[in-house]
């Protein structure tokens, strides 16, 4: 291919596909009441999905999507700038109640980044990009870098370095934007919300754009996400969210601090002007899911998952297994080091009819491969027991057969 970065990424992904850790075709057994998924005709417990509260299979959300199609057709094939379904207004209105601020819907969170970041961040602004921030935000940042916006990268969650950059850049630039995640999608660690709020109050030029895609539903008031579980939305904070994970529906959104910003995005955001709108099925599902989020039922589901998370993390600690981060979020990352070492551990999981996600280059550094586990309501405590035993067996195999200890692996992680 002539490009070593592409070759390395291609080889890692191809290796994952061959060994059953990527590009897997699956389906849900609709005739079975259990929570298993079907892979090549066999039932698996999934530790891969981000459908944290298992709302994707909620009958009310599915029926909301079906009724929306019956009443509106599948899609309204026109730019939102000219015409939109009334369902769009209904969905944004009820979502604004979930998040407590105006909401602008996009077909995907990636398109929300591409629509908002180039519009909100101007050429005479500066961007500070957290080293672990999601790559979809990075795509939008590259667009504004190309037009001359100053961009710097800081070490992950390094508040001292971040503040130093703010002090330095405020001398030259109109606004300084910090881009980060609410819950980081690979290691499961979190945005230091309260500390960032203090910086927003101290520095007039400081703004924050945070992607809380992996925080929505399982935590926060009305399931509004991790960031809003810690602080109220600051007037200088833009919040990007996803509804294709815990929300059980689809699409993404920007939660705006005020109506003026919503109007700006609706009028001038590229993806809303030049791409198709959300399908009626997604809008119907979003409205149905929002009603669940605005009821006490979301609290019950959150508590059920929180109990499962406590069981998982307590068990990990009891067994002495390594994690990249111990914050009690649904995402956990077991270090593997080199990709081939990670696959040895993953094989024990897959052979026991459980799925996991391979953390591979380019999503992580080449020597920071690992097993990403998603704790969701698809699992029972007995499933967690089986998973952790398989992981422990994988590490024991590496030590005995390959001479690679957990300590050797952890040396590759800073």
Q: For residue 45, give its domain range.
A: 4-50+296-410
For the cut 60, the answer to whether the pLDDT of residue 216 exceeds it is yes
Same domain, 177 and 118: yes
CA distance 302 to 190: 18
How do residues 130-160 score in pLDDT, each as one tens digit?
Answer: 999 999 999 999 999 999 999 999 999 999 9
Q: Which of 293, 319, 345 is the last residue of a domain?
A: 293
In the 8-state DSSP scheme, what is residue 219? Answer: S
**Residue 25's pLDDT band (boundaries 50, 70, 90)?**
low
Same domain, 80 and 196: yes
Q: Which of 10-24, 53-67, 215-229, 268-282 has the lowest mean pLDDT?
A: 10-24
Same domain, 116 and 140: yes
For the cut 90, the answer to whether the pLDDT of residue 299 exceeds it is yes
DSSP string, 262-297: HHHHHHH-HHHHHS----HHHHHHHHHHHHHHTSTH
Dihedral sign from CA coordinates of 49, 50, 52, 55 = negative
Residue 8 buriedness (CB in 10 A; 0-12 / 13-18 / 19+): middle
- For residues 108-121, give the mean pLDDT: 96
Q: Are 245 and 50 in contact (CB under 8 A)?
A: yes
Question: Tell me, what's the pLDDT at 32?
Answer: 55
- Neighbouring C-beta atoms of residue 392, cutoff 10 Å: 16
Question: Tell me, what's the pLDDT at 20?
Answer: 61
Same domain, 94 and 44: no
- Which CATH number characterizes residue 378's domain? 3.90.1150.10
DSSP string, 208-238: EEEE-TTTTTTSSGGG--HHHHHSPPPTTEE
Q: Is 313 helix (H, G, I), strand (E, B) or coil?
A: helix
Same domain, 184 and 205: yes
CA distance 129 to 19: 34
- For residues 309-327, give the mean pLDDT: 97
Q: Are 369 and 8 in contact (CB under 8 A)?
A: no
For the cut 80, the answer to whether the pLDDT of residue 35 exceeds it is no
Q: Are 321 and 388 in contact (CB under 8 A)?
A: yes
By DSSP bridging, strand 206-211 and strand 237-242 are: parallel
How do residues 91-100 score in pLDDT, each as one tens digit?
Answer: 999 999 999 9
In the 8-state DSSP scheme, what is residue 234? Answer: P
Question: Tell me, what's the pLDDT at 232?
Answer: 97
Same domain, 125 and 235: yes
Between residues 121 and 412, the one the model is more confident about:
121
- For residues 361-371, give the mean pLDDT: 80
- Which CATH number characterizes residue 257's domain? 3.40.640.10
Same domain, 384 and 237: no
Same domain, 117 and 260: yes
CA distance 94 to 101: 10
Question: Tell me, what's the pLDDT at 11?
Answer: 67
For the cut 70, the answer to whether the pLDDT of residue 34 exceeds it is no
Identify the CA nearest to 94 among candidates 81, 103, 86: 103
For the cut 50, the answer to whether the pLDDT of residue 105 exceeds it is yes
For the cut 50, the answer to whether the pLDDT of residue 1 exceeds it is no
Same domain, 87 and 206: yes
Q: Which of 293, 317, 342 is the last residue of a domain?
A: 293
Question: What's the whole-model pTM score?
Answer: 0.91
Question: Tell me, what's the pLDDT at 75?
Answer: 86
Same domain, 106 and 198: yes
Q: Which of 246, 266, 293 is the last residue of a domain?
A: 293
- For residues 50-61, give the mean pLDDT: 95
- For residues 351-358, give the mean pLDDT: 90
Residue 87 buriedness (CB in 10 A; 0-12 / 13-18 / 19+): buried
φ, ψ dihedrals at 124, nearest 5°: -90, 15
% residues pLDDT > 70 (the chain): 91
Number of domain units in the chain:
2
Same domain, 343 and 259: no
Same domain, 12 and 158: no
């Amino acid at each position: 291919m002539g490009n070593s970065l592409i070759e390395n990424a291609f080889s890692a992904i191809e290796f994952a596909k061959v060994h059953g850790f990527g590009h897997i075709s699956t389906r849900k057994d609709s005739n079975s009441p259990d929570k298993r998924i079907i892979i090549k005709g066999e039932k698996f417990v999934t530790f891969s999905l981000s459908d944290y509260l298992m709302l994707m299979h909620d009958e009310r959300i599915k029926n909301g999507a079906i009724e929306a199609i019956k009443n509106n057709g599948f899609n309204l094939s026109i730019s939102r700038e000219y015409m939109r379904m009334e369902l769009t207004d209904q969905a944004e209105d009820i979502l604004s109640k979930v998040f407590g601020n105006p909401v602008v819907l996009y077909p995907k969170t990636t398109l929300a980044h591409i629509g908002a970041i180039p519009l909100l961040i101007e050429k005479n602004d500066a961007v500070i990009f957290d080293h672990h921030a999601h790559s979809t935000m990075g795509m939008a940042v590259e667009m504004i870098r190309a037009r001359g916006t100053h961009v710097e990268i800081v070490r992950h969650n390094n508040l001292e370095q971040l503040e130093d950059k703010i002090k330095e850049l405020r001398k030259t630039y109109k606004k300084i934007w910090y881009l980060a995640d609410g819950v980081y999608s690979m290691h499961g660690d979190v945005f230091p919300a309260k500390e960032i709020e203090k910086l927003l109050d101290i520095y007039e030029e400081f703004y924050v754009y945070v992607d809380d895609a992996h925080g929505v539903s399982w935590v926060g008031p009305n399931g509004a996400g991790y960031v809003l579980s810690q602080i109220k939305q600051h007037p200088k904070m833009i919040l990007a969210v996803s509804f294709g994970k815990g929300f059980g529906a689809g699409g993404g959104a920007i939660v705006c601090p005020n109506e003026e910003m919503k109007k700006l995005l609706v009028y001038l955001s590229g993806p809303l002007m030049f791409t198709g709108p959300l399908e009626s099925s997604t809008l119907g599902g979003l409205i149905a899911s929002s009603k669940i989020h605005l009821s006490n039922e979301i609290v019950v589901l959150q508590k059920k998952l929180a109990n499962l998370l406590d069981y998982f993390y307590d068990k990990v600690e009891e067994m002495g297994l390594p994690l990249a981060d111990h914050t009690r979020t649904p995402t956990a990352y077991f270090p593997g080091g080199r990709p081939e070492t990670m696959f040895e551990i993953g094989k024990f999981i897959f052979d026991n009819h459980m799925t996991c996600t391979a953390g591979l280059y380019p999503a992580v550094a080449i020597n920071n491969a690992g097993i990403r586990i998603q704790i969701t309501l698809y699992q029972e405590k007995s499933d967690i027991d089986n998973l952790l035993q398989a992981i422990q067996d994988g590490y024991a195999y590496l030590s005995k057969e390959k001479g690679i200890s957990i300590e050797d692996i952890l040396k590759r992680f800073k």
